[in-house]
Structure 1
Amino acid sequence: MTADVEECFRKIIEKRNPPKAEPMVDGKSGFLYFDKNGSICYSLHWEHYFQHIIQKYNNTYKVQMNVITPHVCRHTYCSNMAKSGMNPKALQYLMGHSDISVTLNTYTHVNLEDVREEVARIQVV
């Protein structure tokens, strides 16, 4: 985690409505977000938030938004980092994958335009 990311997380914790009792899970506390009942937000909470936002958007606008989940965001992050030229082993570490093939073959998505850009980038003029 970079110092900037850590600082952002600290600010979120400072500004959040503190729970009545700070929850502890496996010896860890200081969670970023809580639901309306004061419980820790888990991935299922975020999936519901995403669904609600997409539903609200699609009810308002003619052009419909595709399904987006936190897991889709994880794939997008991995693909964008790979396309930016991040060292694959560093990316594997950040993604928490024990096998590099999961990072490169499952989470990293490229298309024909990505390939064209990469070929153009490495061509010697």
Structure 2
Amino acid sequence: MSDEVYQAFQNILKHRRKQKNLVIDGYSDFLFINRNGNPQVAVNYEAVFRKLVDKYNSKHEEPLPKITPHVMRHTFCTRLANAGMNPKALQYVMGHSNITITLNRYTHASLETVKSELQRFVA
């Protein structure tokens, strides 16, 4: 995590109204909470993405596809892999117990990526 991101998160916590002293599976002091002071869950984020896509699609001719937090996770992983991140470091960042999951399920090669990689080996 960059220092800027860390400071932004600290700023959120500093200016937030008092929250419940809630402990879930040993975790507390949640960063992202709902109006009731409970931690945000996947369905909350999925609803936000769905509303954003619906709003965009209502105003544009070419619609966006279904975008979910999980799609964003795949995109994040793929872009880090395509940028040349060490696969073991990427596995750690993604929280995967097995490198096979990172490489086979979360990174997606494009035709451009393959062409670029082949060009590196053409003498």
* TM-score computed with the length of structure 1 as normaliser: 0.86
CA contact 1:16–1:33 (8 Å) conserved in 2 = no
Q: Using the TM superposition, give the Cα deviation of residue 122 of structure 1 relative to its aligned residue in structure 2, in angstroms.
A: 4.1
Unaligned ranges ≥5, structure 2: none
Cα distance, 1:2 vs. partner?
4.1
**Aligned residue number for residue 13 of structure 2:** 13
Q: Is the 8 A contact 1:78 1:95 kept in 2?
A: yes
Cα deviation digits, residues 50-97 of structure 1 (max 9, x gap):
111111111122110111111001100110000000000110111111
Kindly provide the amino acid, as one letter, of the partner of residue 100 in structure 2.
S
- Give the alignment of 1:17-96 within 5 angstroms: 17-19=17-19, 21-96=20-95
1:35 and 1:41 in contact (8 A); partners too: yes
SS in 2 for 1:65: coil
Once residues 54 and 17 of structure 1 are traced to their aligned partners in structure 2, the CA distance between those partners, rounded to angstroms, is 30
Greater mean deviation of Cα atoms: 34-43 or 95-104: 34-43
Amino acid at match of 1:32: L
Q: 1 CA distance for matches of 2:121 and 2:2? A: 30
For structure 1, the residue ranges without an aligned partner over 5 or more in a row are none
Q: Mean alpha-carbon deviation: is it higher for 77-86 or for 109-118?
A: 109-118
One-letter identity of the residue aligned with 1:117? S
Q: Over the residues paired in the alignment, what is the CA RMSD in angstroms?
A: 1.8
1:13 and 1:123 mapped to 2: Cα distance? 52
- State the 4+ residue runs in structure 1 displaced beyond 4 angstroms: none
TM-score, with normalisation over the residues of structure 2? 0.87
Please report how far the alpha carbon of residue 110 of structure 1 lies from its aligned counterpart in structure 2 after TM superposition. Answer: 0.8
Q: Percent identity?
A: 42
Question: Aligned in 2, Cα 1:118/1:63: closer, same or farther, shift over 3 Å?
Answer: same
